[in-house]
Amino acid sequence: MHPDLGLTYQQQNPNGGESIDFLQIRFSDIDFVSTDLCTTLFELPWGEQGEPHALSLDFDQSLLLELLSRLSPEAQQQFLDEVNGQLPPFHVSLPEPVLVDRVSCVLGELQEVEGEVFIPFVIRDIS
């Protein structure tokens, strides 16, 4: 497993708090953690050597709707058909990827899930 980017970022920026932007992020899979929280996981090169890191992005329903608005009408309907009636937690793959030019985030809180310790980034805005 690759090192967690949130943990690495926190070690490199112990005061934290500032916004960080990730560029050219392609959303293709979403995990519904609860009715209010979604997350997705990426592999991203980081640092001078470009070492692969695991990037976890958390977002709420308003940002999910913004992502879905970028899908074609047919893909939106496919997505709705797939998630309709499901209760979290569950995973869904988008019918087509959504490329986002800029994802603005802040560092979230330390998490532990199934023995994995990580810090997700919380999306504040996409453009």
* Token pair in block for residue 86: 């499901």
Segment 49-58, tens digit of pLDDT = 999 999 999 9
pLDDT on residue 62: 96
pLDDT number for residue 14? 79
Q: What is the pLDDT of residue 89?
A: 96
pLDDT beneath 50, residues of the chain: none
Domains of the chain, with CATH numbers? 5-126 (2.40.50)
What's residue 61's pLDDT? 95
Cα separations (Å) of 58 from 2, 72, 81, 85, 97? Answer: 18, 23, 23, 22, 17
pTM attached to this predicted model: 0.93
Q: Which amino acid makes up residue 120?
A: P
| DSSP notation for 40-95 | EEEEEEETTTTEEEEEEEEE-HHHHHHHHTTS-HHHHHHHHHHHTT--SSEEEEEE
The predicted pLDDT at position 122 comes to 98
